Amino acid sequence: MPTAIFRPADFFASLNWGSVFSTPAPIEIEIGCGKGAFLAWAAQTRLQHNFLGVERQMIRLRKVDSKVQRLGLTNVRLLRIEAGYLVGKMIPDNSVAAYHIFFPDPWPKRRHQANRLLGPAFVLELHRTLQKGGTVNVATDDATYFAGIQKVFANSGKFTPTAPVSLPVEAQTEFEKLFLAQGLVINRGRYVAGEPLRASLRV
């Protein structure tokens, strides 16, 4: 039975993108692809790019896989893995065009905030794996977390903040739809890998 779920031969080695995707193309990675709304929309609108959707829960990944098969998307692969390990240990240098990280767990309690994905070490790994000019797109409903994200990217000295991309309704994740229905503000950021514009880094 066809499947977009990819199982690396060796979880202790860097990924060979040629073994993940059959056609060479710029690679975009969505961390925490959920039910696959954004992933499916992006893969359909940018057929010239390859997309890797990352999730920790296999039950979610299987649902996204069903959607990918139904839509006939050949430029999508799915991987069950913890994001920090994937980016830190398995993604080759300078090989990714974009990361999409929408509504990561905010860990709102102060004693749990060390568990947040978008911390200093992780952001440096994002930069290592991105091509120059590659982007990180983030979104969160948690204003405190977003302020921390802005600070982490600024302090890294590796990224230039730019205007976030506006997404259509069909690209909204289930979390975004839920938060918007509750009247919450969605905070968005877009960060470009390369030498930062110092004047724009005040947060």
The catalytic residue positions are 105
- The helix (H) or strand (E) run that includes residue 86 is none
**Concatenated DSSP letters for 138-182?**
EEES-HHHHHHHHHHHHHHTSEEEEPPPP--GGG--HHHHHHHHT
The answer to whether 108 and 143 have CB atoms below 8 angstroms apart is: no
Give the residues across from 137 on adjacent strands: 100, 190
Report whether 196 contacts 153 (CB < 8 A): no
Given a contact cutoff of 8 angstroms between Cβ atoms, the answer to whether 55 and 61 are in contact is yes
30 beta partners = 53, 100
